Structure 1
């Protein structure tokens, strides 16, 4: 193995409960839907607009609604979720042992981060927890707008930028929609 590619939210840092809370609040503001954790976590990794569309498709009780209107509501939910999440003013911390793993145990391995978070969020989280230079490649949600999990494009871009072949790369991902063969780790 020559390279390890990490997802950020839920793998490197403990932010998923905050993403859930912000999404649940935004969904409730625009619909009569009470978003449960299970549904949210099963959709984890998708861009927020896609998550909102899936939730509306799965749980909408507002009667028949045209597809265009559902897309508008999904976009409103997405914007509101981002606003709520930004207002939380978080300083996400890495999971126990992750910082040491990155800084000490994987020194000789090329490392990348692939995240659906914005460039600004990703840079702040990575610099705060690991320093600027610990990851050779960072692919963020701004790089592949609209392409979340299970689209493999962001991971394949990281593999290309790391200059390795797929068989020499390990992807550590927590989202069920990761798009690759997975080793599932349970807490």
Structure 2
């Protein structure tokens, strides 16, 4: 992961980039859809949609299965289940190393398609909640990734020109959003090394 010399801020996606919450979300979504929606969705279907915001994912479920869901109830149940299992979440060691190396040198932000409650719980679980001066989540923007809104908002809150921000991402939607915001985008997938946070 190379960081340009003119970098003034680093912005990190959360799920799949800083922490490995994707297995937790998979189990939580499956349980919520089974218990609230009355349908079974297999793991492969979810994995193909990694990086989707909640409403995008549920819209795709409705389209794929030809049903209408109680979205608020399913989202609430999913978030609750993720929070209940977040304590042992694994962190992405190479990305966390970057966070620790740059903390205090430039401002750091998180820009996530996840909910604030889960993002903050994830960061607290790995001991990094206080490291980020800005946390922007899906509740803060009208248009989720791949729209650039969430990254532009993070840069605005940091007070940094988007052109001088470097984004760390693990999804096609997130990388597209960062580039559309005029930022340098680092794909962390080739260097993912998840371990339980200590």
Q: Normalised by the shorter chain, which TM-score bucket?
A: 0.7 to 0.9
Whether contact under 8 Å (2:151, 2:178) holds in the other structure is no
Q: Counterpart in 1 of 2:122? A: 125
Q: Please, which runs of 5 or more residues in structure 2 have no aligned partner?
A: 1-6, 180-184, 193-198
SS at match of 1:90: helix
Residue pairs, 1:22-171, within 5 angstroms: 22-29=28-35, 30-37=37-44, 39-58=45-64, 60=65, 70=68, 72-88=69-85, 90-105=87-102, 107-144=104-141, 147-171=143-167
CA RMSD of aligned residues (A): 2.6
Q: Please, which runs of 5 or more residues in structure 1 have no aligned partner?
A: none
List, as ranges, runs of 4+ consecutive aligned residues in structure 1 with deviation greater than 4 Å: none
Q: Which has the larger radius of gyration?
A: 1
> TM-score if structure 2 supplies the norm length?
0.73
**TM-aligned CA deviation for residue 134 of structure 1:** 1.9
> TM-score if structure 1 supplies the norm length?
0.77
| Larger fraction in strand | 2
SS at match of 2:139: coil
CA 1:128–1:90 in structure 2 vs 1: closer, same or farther (change >3 Å)?
closer
- Count of aligned residue pairs for this structure pair: 176
Distance 2:13 2:98 in 1: 15
